[in-house]
Each structure stands twice: as structure tokens, then as C-alpha cells.
Amino acid sequence: MNSPVPSTHTTAKFSQSGTTDNRLHGQWLVIAHVTLIAVFGLVLALFIASIPTYFAYLHTFATGNVVNLTAGQLTQNGVRNLHVLGLSIDFYASYHIVLNAIFVFGFLMVGGMIFWRKADDRMGLFTAFALLTDER
């Protein structure tokens, strides 16, 4: 009589409905949680630490013909236009920092909510990680 051959380990688990189970279990779940929490803390710490440097950067003037408008640096003409409107460079720099903070904290909150609600789902963890590591 032949003894049954043990089955090989499969990576995908199927539920009763025939769909794959996208949930993490065991040590992979712990590793994913620790990594995501560490990334969350690192992103938050780096953003807060970069505020003084970004504030100083916004006080410098862009020179030359090519100006990076997404960086937020003003030209001499831009500073004159601010003064015509009655706004200071400090207001301009503070406005940019607050606007960036709203976006960063919004991404962190949505990523945190997805992590909280779908902490064991692979796609939920991937989405939360993508939101946390946004390039802003």
C-alpha cells in the first residue's frame, strides 16, 4: 500500500467562495505593523524637523530665468507683488508651511485610518504605506 505523499506548501489560501485570502498572519503581520508604525513615526519626525529649514528656504529669492514654481521660492517680482497686496514674506512662508502641513497630516490620517481598519489585509497595508510615503 502506498502512503500518501505530503502536499507541498501553497502560498495562496482559498476561502470557501473560491477567492484568495489576502490577510497576513503570524510574524508577517507583526513585521508589517512594526514597519508601518516606524515609517509613520519617521515621516512625522522628518516633516516636523524640516519646518525651520523650509521656512528659511522660502525666505530666499529665486535667481535666474528658470524658476521652480512648485518649490515655493519667490522672485524679486513676486516679492514686490506680495508687498503691493500688503502681505509679508513671513506670511507667505507661513502660508506654504500650513498648506503643506494640511496635506501631510491629511495623508497621514487617511493612511492611519486605513491601517487601523484593515491592519491585516495586504492591500490595506500597501495603500496605507503608499499614503504615508507620499513625496510631499
Give 13-51 pLDDT, tens digit per residue: 555 555 666 666 577 778 878 888 898 889 889 889 999
What's the one-letter identity of residue 57? Y
Residues 102-135: tens digit of each pLDDT: 988 888 888 888 877 777 777 888 888 888 887 6
pLDDT, residue 21, reads 64
Label residue 9 exposed, middle or buried (CB < 10 Å: 0-12, 13-18, 19+): exposed
**C-alpha grid cell, residue 13:** 489560501
Q: How confident is the model at residue 98 (pLDDT cuts 50, 70, 90)?
A: very high
